[in-house]
Structure 1
Amino acid sequence: MSKSLFRWSLTAACLAGLTAPLPAWAGEDSDEETGSEPSYQINDPFPDRQLQPTSVPAFGQPKAVFYNPYGLTDWLRRHGIGVLLDNINEYAAAVTAPTKNVGDYRQGSSNAGQYALSLNVDWERIAHIKGFATHMVVTGRYGTPANRMFGDWLNHSSEIYGGGGNVVVHLVMAYGEETLYGGKLSIAAGRMAELSDFAASPLFCTFQINAICGRPRAAADTGYASTFPAGNWGLRVRGRPLPQSYIQLGLYLTEEGMFSYGMNRSGFKFNSAYINGVRLPLELGWEPKIRSHLSGHYKIGVALTTAALSDIHEDEYGEPYVLTGVSQRQHHASLNSWVMMDQKFATYRRDRFGNDSDAGLTALWGFLYNDKHVALRNWQAYGGLISRGTFASRPEDTIAVVFSYTAISPGVQRTEELLRAQGRTLPYRATGIQRHAIVMEANYGWHAFRGVLMQPMVQAFIRPNGQGNLRDAVLLGFKTHIEFL
């Protein structure tokens, strides 16, 4: 991808939270999913030279199956047009039997997938509008995850599931971006996904499990933070006061039913009928390099939501609503926050030019905290290791492990205890009291050939759905990612 849009562009949440399975942000042989772009744009320091010959950061070109057919890709990019087309497919099968006599569960397998197309246009090249570009992504999705078969709804076994409207073409994002001061300032507006820019990382989708892939699950707990494949109206401003730091803030109009098939199936529903508030995220980032070549990315952020959210335990007078029957208390201001870090600790070998290669060991870890009065997930902690090029004969392959711990809000637990005592149905599709859950994944990313990644994996669900009454589950699966253009 070299010095591409994926590295420099300080663009808005163009695509989605999917990402490339590698422990460094860049590299010519990187896998680039259409949803990876915003994460690359955020998490690389501003380049030390002016962008030429256009002030719009250059569009990247991954090592796709059809890398440059008949010179077409190069011709399009010379004329200001960048196109990416890829497909992701994720399969998972339970090797453990589900809990008996609890719910309608069964042992089985499932498959989920997505095809996506992004279109980036440099209007400085086409119409001489200095620094202006537009970005659009559409997608189609199919299938369902396997975790529902054994009763888990907290951490899906596949990141690809739902939200695509069950239509051939679903609009994810379409927005314009103006790049100023040689790339040090970016202003973007349009239909965007907040969590493609905020609380994002290109390392997350080294994994298949939805607890981490796309974005840590707690970041989107209340359903009002837009994330792939749903976008909403938004504005984002990002600047770099120093070469290896950034600050970004945004304003996103929250929409009721943003992920609902019934209310926004195609993604082309642009009216304001369901706008019910705003989200105001703020994030600070720092990208140091240890010994000049070991890259790190550190970020801290907070977001305010003004859409009305119901208290998960109390009524209008501060009493348990399940006992009084009084309407739940409404909160018109709630906060969620995050701290996320990754650091490359070692480089295994040098390339043929004597420079440090992408091969090496990277660690990632983070913590997310939500308002315990309105969120199901009170907090989430995660950590993982990614080893790229472990074997000299396989320089692009990755070995990766990750775990995630999710703590359920105390109010949810108290409410479910009261409901169970009354023999009533529990919220969140629970069949027992939800307290905490752990999920883990280990995988091997095999680059079969240019543009094709094959990734077998194993997952473990401890306390599925956060419940102690459900049996732990082990899954085996396989992910493929094919970059066509």
Structure 2
Amino acid sequence: MSKFWEDVQKRWIKHGVSVVLDYTSESAMALNGGGGSRAAYAHQIGAQLDIDWEKLVGWHGFRTHTVFINRAGHSLAKDFGDQSVNGLQEIYGGNADIGIKFVYVYATQDLMHDRMQIAFGKMPVNIDFSASPLYCTFMNNMICGSPKTLRRGTGGFANYPGSAFGTRIRYWTLHGVYFQAGLYGSNPDLTTPKYDRSGFNWSLDRYRGVYIPAEIGLIPSFGKDNLVGHYKFGFAYDSTNYSDNYWDVNGNPLALTGVAPRQKNGRTQVWLEGDQMLIRNGSGPLHGLYAMAGLIRNDAVSSPYLYQYYAGFVDRGFFKARPKDMLGIMFTTTTVSPAVRATQNLLYARGSRKLPQNASFPQSQVTAIELSYVIHVCEGLSVQPDYQHIMRPNLQSNKKDIDAVGLKIHAVL
């Protein structure tokens, strides 16, 4: 970062204006597994504007947040026929291969001596619900941002870089204990060309219902080293109509009749997630060894995926000589809905090789194991070598496992 830009930022922040520019690239190369291209590159260039209106004009507790991005590149996972929640490069996707994508703009208002906060605007659900700064330690897309079956399981769970109009209220009942709930428009076509790739379409014509998430969180701290944990239980309901995975409108297996699927009103989701610092390596909130785990369950009747579960470790400052480096190890598995698999089995038995969920063989589950190390090069720049092993790509047991190496570069101004 140049001295001039650093001085400009300090002056702006003093008056409540924060501007962050960043660049992230993710390159991946497959070592085996068949498929098409052996390597792929994707990037994101982002611009974020945060304004503290209390510093700027004296409006106590009011802040606004805006983000624009540019994404481009190629998905290596798709070259191997994997269009599921697995993505070897998390920065790819969101239908954001476009010059400028408007991601979100929303405001927050603190109330009751900062015990309550209200947010409203056009925003992703996952900036508040099922969120963790540890998720994007990893380059695979299964959990970065949030566990991806929440988005793929229900259209109302607007996931970055998508956003939806909505509001969220959070209340700290006790120190370290909070409850939050939200109300968002549910748009099953979010981030697709059917709606708006650029994010500048603010119309409500594609909204089909409302998405209502609620979450209880606990943030305990243990011992003299202040070993911090984050635990959350969430539940959500989407009022949109979705197609049944197995039955047609007449109550017969749709795979046998070819008749339109029965429509089911509403989907539910549940998530239970947590992380706990086990060893402290420094004074910062992430400086230590964290254990993390989670479980997500979707509606099997109309969601493509039933379960996702993950577990891992993230350790920042393990080497005393490298206090800002970070090591991550992660395991995550996603299972298909039994209703989807039943439909796929019927179609496959009849000779079809073009099955629901972009499959060519009845699906079961996909598992990713990842090892990643973030090297802090200098202030504002990190380089991250990465290794991934993918079992049953696209949840298909007939696909070869993939071993891939990657490199993530992140620069911030």
Q: TM-score range by the shorter chain?
A: over 0.9
The aligned amino acid for 1:122 is: D
Q: Please give the alpha-carbon distance, in whole angstroms, between the structure 2 residues aligned to 1:151 and 1:284.
A: 38
Q: Does 1:136 align with 2:72?
A: no
> Where do 1:18-57 residues align within 5 Å?
none
**Among candidates 100, 108, 116, match of residue 46 of structure 2:** 116
- Which position in structure 2 is the counterpart of 1:101? none
Q: Are 1:341 and 2:274 matched, yes or no?
A: yes
Post-superposition Cα deviations, 1:207-233, rounded to whole Å, max 9, x if no partner, equal 000011111111112333101111110
Q: Deviations over 1:278-299 (max 9, x none)?
A: 1000000000011141000000
* Residue 406 of structure 2: aligned partner: 477
The answer on 1:316 being equivalent to 2:249 is yes
Q: CA RMSD in A?
A: 1.7
Letter in 2 for 1:366: G
CA distance in 2 between counterparts of 1:74 and 1:312 reads: 54
Among 298, 312, 316, the alignment partner of 1:384 is 312
The 5 Å alignment of 1:210-359 reads: 210-221=141-152, 222-292=154-224, 293-348=226-281, 359=287
Alignment of 1:142-161 (within 5 A): 142-154=72-84, 155-161=86-92
- Which of 57, 60, 82 is the aligned partner of 1:127? 57
Q: 1:75 aligns to what?
A: 11
Whether the 8 Å contact between 1:282 and 1:303 is mirrored in structure 2 is yes
- Residue pair 1:347, 1:356 contacting (<8 A) in 2 also: no
Instruction: Name the structure 2 match of 1:95.
Output: 31
**Residues 70 and 341 (structure 1), Cα distance of their counterparts in 2 relative to 1, 3 Å cut:** closer
TM-score scaled by structure 1? 0.81
Deviations 1:284-326 (CA, angstroms, capped at 9, x unpaired):
0000011141000000001100111101111234321121233
Point out the more displaced range, 297-306 or 264-273. 264-273
Counterpart of 2:137 in structure 1 is 206
Other-structure match for 2:109 = 178
Give the TM-score normalised by structure 2: 0.95
Of 366, 376, 392, 1:447 maps to: 376
Q: Return the alpha-carbon distance in structure 2 between the equivalents of residues 176 and 70 of structure 1.
A: 26
- Give 1:26's aligned residue: none
Q: Which runs of 5+ in 1 are unaligned?
A: 1-64, 99-104
Task: Assess, with a 3 A threshold, how the Cα gap between structure 1 residues 113 and 405 changes in structure 2: closer, same or farther.
Answer: same
Greater relative contact order (Cα < 8 A, sep 6+): 1
Instruction: Tell me by how many angstroms 1:392 deviates.
Output: 1.3
Q: Is the 8 A contact 1:187 1:237 kept in 2?
A: yes
1:368-426 deviation line (CA, Å, top 9, x unaligned): 00000011110011000112112111111111110101111111111011111222321
2:291 aligned counterpart, secondary structure: strand
Count of matched residue positions in the alignment of Structure 1 and Structure 2: 409
Give the fraction of aligned pairs with identical amino acids, expressed as a percent: 34
- On the 8 A contact 1:97/1:107 being kept in 2, the answer is no
The 1:151/1:299 distance shift into structure 2, 3 A limit, reads same
Cα deviation per residue 1:426-470 (whole Å; 9 max; x = unaligned)? 111111110111111101110011111100011001011111111
Q: Classify 1:356/1:273 alpha carbon distance in 2 versus 1 (closer, same or farther; 3 Å).
A: closer
Answering whether residue 360 of structure 2 is matched by residue 431 of structure 1, we say yes
Indicate whether 1:407 and 2:328 are aligned.
Answer: no
User: d(CA) in 2 for partners of 1:95 and 1:219?
Assistant: 30
What's the CA shift string for 1:112-170, capped at 9, x where partnerless? 11011111112223333232221111111011221111221220111111225433221
Kept in 1: contact 2:218–2:231 (CA 8 A): yes
Distance 1:373 1:250, change over 3 A: same
Deviation at 1:67, TM superposition (A): 7.5
Q: Tell me how far apart the structure 2 counterparts of residues 246 and 443 of structure 1 sit (CA, whole Å).
A: 32
In structure 1, distance between residues paired with 2:365 and 2:44: 30
Letter in 2 for 1:182: H
Alpha carbons of structure 1 residues 358 and 315: separation in structure 2 relative to 1, 3 Å: closer
Question: Match of 2:366, SS?
Answer: strand
Q: Distance in 2 between matches of 1:152 and 1:164?
A: 16
- Shift of the 128–390 alpha-carbon distance from structure 1 to 2, 3 Å rule, reads closer
SS at 2:208 equivalent: strand
Say which SS state the counterpart of residue 471 (structure 1) adopts: coil
1:192 aligned to 2:128?
no
3-state secondary structure, aligned to 2:363: coil
Supply the distance in 1 between the matched residues of 2:190 and 2:337 (Cα, whole angstroms). 24
